[in-house]
Structure 1
């Protein structure tokens, strides 16, 4: 297990280095000058040059890259060009919106997908199975932003059960904050629940054809008992991998949904930083999200190896 972990740690470090180089390079080649954008079209050249020096933009790209990475390692994400506030504090403030939203959406996805996947697998080839699979295809195909707007029209404007947008803050009211996150969480969870349902069904059907399931039936267990005692437990291994990946997707991919519901999360922060040419915010937030995704995959790999010893033996 130690050798397997060390190899995964090396892979993680290489992935982070490559990701940081790609993020910095892509953002640096973007057209436009931050200082000129901030000062306006009629700014004097010496004023623009002074601002570039103040922001550290007059340094070489190599020096700026190592300065940025060094700060990230020590927890200093830099200072926002636009708001002149620490990026780390801006991220922390918005993480209290994006992180609960991702967890909320993931829980809804699991609550929908597990029963639906098990129900479809237990009725393979029947009308119920076809209905569930058709619903999952629809869930994947529906655009998230359109579904979000339909939710607003029905539950916020017509029924007035939930707010149409905004976020009151956890200090203001936990209940009102949860209500504000409910419609965005439903909009985010729909496609993820559809994918997870299909994975759960497929994994469970694979387990039903295994020898140990036939042995369980031969020992006198009913089809339902064999399904719940042996099939579901073994089918969860690949499903847990998908759940970990889905959490990363929910945390990093909520930009459009946060825009629709006007939520002050990380997605909205990235969108505002791009429009304002606040490159240090874009670089730091994207790198933080990439780090989160890679770390989640690392943890999933370790958990997967702990469950299935064959993975450790292959390394």
Structure 2
């Protein structure tokens, strides 16, 4: 197990290093000059040059990368060109919205997907199974931003149960959860539908294995075989989807954040790109990539916990 863990940590560190190089290179080739954007089109060339020097944009790329990467390792993400505050403060303020939103959406997706997937697998080929598969297909096909607007129309405008947008802050946890409820439901719908279909397929494949047929022949009920034996072995593809979904929910919720006017990390990146605030874009994207890589690392550990064969192959 220690060898397996060491290899995964080594891959984690290497992935973070390569990701930082790619992110820095991609951001640097984006057209446009931050200094010219901040000063306007009519700014004098010497003023623009002075601001570029002050922002460190004239330094060699290698030096700028080392300064940026070294600062992140030390917890210093630099200072925003636009907001004139430390980037870490901007990211932290947005993460307290994006991270709970992603966790809440994933929890809702799991709560719905697991019983639905188990029910569909247990009743394979029946009318209820067909209805569930049709429903999950509809959940995947419906755009989440359209579903979000429908939720606003029903629960905020008509019924006035939940706020239509904005974030109340964590000073009042109940108000904060109400602010995140509709966005989380909108994000959870397609993810729950995907997860239910994957779980159903994995369970059906597992139920066809010889050891399940042997257990059934010895008198084990179908429900018991499904929950006690098949479910554990069907978790590996499910864990893969869960890891990918959390990464998507954390990094890809920018549309939902804009629909509900949530001050999340995705919206911060969008605003920083339009303002040519390179240091914010680089650092925020790196935080998201780091989260994705760390989730993948934890998923690999979960694989080893579920399937001991993976530990023996390491």
Q: Distance in 1 between matches of 2:156 and 2:306?
A: 44
Deviation at 1:228, TM superposition (A): 2.2
Report SS of the residue matched to 1:42: coil
| Structure 2 residues not aligned, in runs of 5+ | none
1:202-230 deviation per Cα after TM superposition (whole angstroms, max 9, x unaligned):
11112211222222222322222222222
Partner in structure 2 of residue 206 of structure 1: 205
Partner of 2:24: 24
TM superposition shift of 1:279? 0.8
Partner of 1:127: 127
Correspondences of 1:124-273 after superposition (within 5 Å): 124-171=124-171, 173-273=172-272
Scaled by the length of structure 1, what TM-score is found?
A: 0.96
Residue 232 of structure 1 deviates from its aligned partner by: 2.1
On the 8 A contact 2:233/2:306 being kept in 1, the answer is no
Task: Indicate the residue corresponding to 1:81 in structure 2.
Answer: 81
Q: Please give the residue correspondences for 1:110-125 in structure 2 after superposition, counting only pairs within 5 Å.
A: 110-125=110-125
CA distance in 1, matches of 2:273, 2:149: 24
Q: Give, in whole Å, the separation in 1 of the partners of 2:112 and 2:177.
A: 19
**d(CA) in 2 for partners of 1:10, 1:176:** 42
Equivalent residue, structure 2, for 1:52: 52
1:290 maps to what in 2?
289
Asked if the contact 2:114–2:196 (Cα under 8 Å) also holds between the matched residues in 1, the reply is yes
SS at match of 1:108: helix
2:232, 2:306 within 8 Å by CA — same for their partners in 1? no
Q: Distance in 1 between matches of 2:10 and 2:78?
A: 27
What CA RMSD, in Å, does the superposition of the two structures yield over aligned residues? 1.3
- Check whether the contact 2:233–2:307 (CA below 8 A) recurs between aligned residues: no
Residue number in structure 1 paired with 2:304: 305
1:102-144: per-residue Cα shift (whole Å, max 9, x none)? 1110011001100110111011111111111111111111111
- 2:33 corresponding residue in structure 1: 33
CA contact (8 A) 2:117 2:199 kept: yes
The structural deviation recorded for 1:278 is 0.6
Q: How many residues align?
A: 314
Q: Distance in 2 between matches of 1:225 and 1:57?
A: 64
- Quote how far apart the aligned CAs of 1:182 are: 0.6
Give TM-score scaled by structure 2 length.
0.96
Query: Could you tell me how far 1:14 is from its partner in structure 2?
Result: 2.2
Q: Deviations over 1:140-199 (max 9, x none)?
A: 11111111111111211122111110001011x211111110110011111110110011
The answer to whether the 8 Å contact 2:167/2:176 transfers is: yes
CA contact (8 A) 2:79 2:87 kept: yes
- 2:221 and 2:168 map into 1 onto residues whose CA distance is 52
- Local SS of the residue matching 2:234: helix
User: Aligned partners of 1:24 and 1:305: how far apart in 2?
Assistant: 33
Structure 1 CA distance for aligned equivalents of residues 247 and 33 of structure 2? 32
